[in-house]
Structure formats: structure tokens, C-alpha cells
Amino acid sequence: MNNPKRTVQLTGADLEQYLEKRSPEKQELSRNKYIKETLEEGLAIIPIPERMKGGIRRFVYEGVPPGGFLMAVMEGNLVDAWLFADTENRLILHHYAHLVYQYIPISAMGNREK
């Protein structure tokens, strides 16, 4: 009899508690895998222009600062994001807010002081 694998998505305190029980190397691998899977899910679902996805990925995965618009988005500063946005991105700024709020863990968010 086959037992299908069950997948449980841990978030917040449950994720942190799970990671604390693992070695530091496994903790980092698990955290990185979780961040990647979560972001990629959001980028697949939310209609963000393809030309913007590379900057988001480089910032979240590698810490490479994006341009003014994406940096403002990643910092949660929607006023500055609107000021820096081109016409296309102004019209869909709410999609970026949804992506940041729902699919990017706070540990991967931006901060100019980092």
C-alpha cells in the first residue's frame, strides 16, 4: 500500500520552531528553499511583467539592490514606488504590494540601511 507524501507549508513561528531543531547548515538550506519556493509561486500567480522578475529574484536571492522603483517596493514604501514607477508599473502597483505582503518573507525584504 502506497502512502502518499503529505506536504505541509510552515509559516511564521511554526517555521522558526521547525528550523531551530535542525543544524545551522540545514536551517539555512531549508530557509533558502522555502524563500525560493514561496517567491516563485508568487511570481507565477501574480501578473508582474517578466522584465521586472529578474530584479526581484536577484534582490531576494543574492541581495543585489534593484533600481529605485523595486527598492521602494521591497521596502514597502508604496509612495516612493509610485513616484519611481513607469506607467505600466503604476497601474499594477497593487500587484507588487500583494507579492511583497504574501510571498516574500520579511527576512528577505529590503532596507536601505542594510
Per-residue pLDDT at 110? 62
Per-residue pLDDT at 111? 61
Which residue has 516574500 as its cell numbers?
104
pTM score, whole prediction: 0.71
pLDDT at residue 2 above 60?
no
Q: Provide the residue ranges of all domains of the chain, joining segments of one domain with +.
A: 12-108
Q: How confident is the model at residue 114 (pLDDT cuts 50, 70, 90)?
A: very low
**d(C-alpha 88, C-alpha 111), whole Å:** 25
**d(C-alpha 87, C-alpha 107), whole Å:** 30
**d(C-alpha 40, C-alpha 37), whole Å:** 5
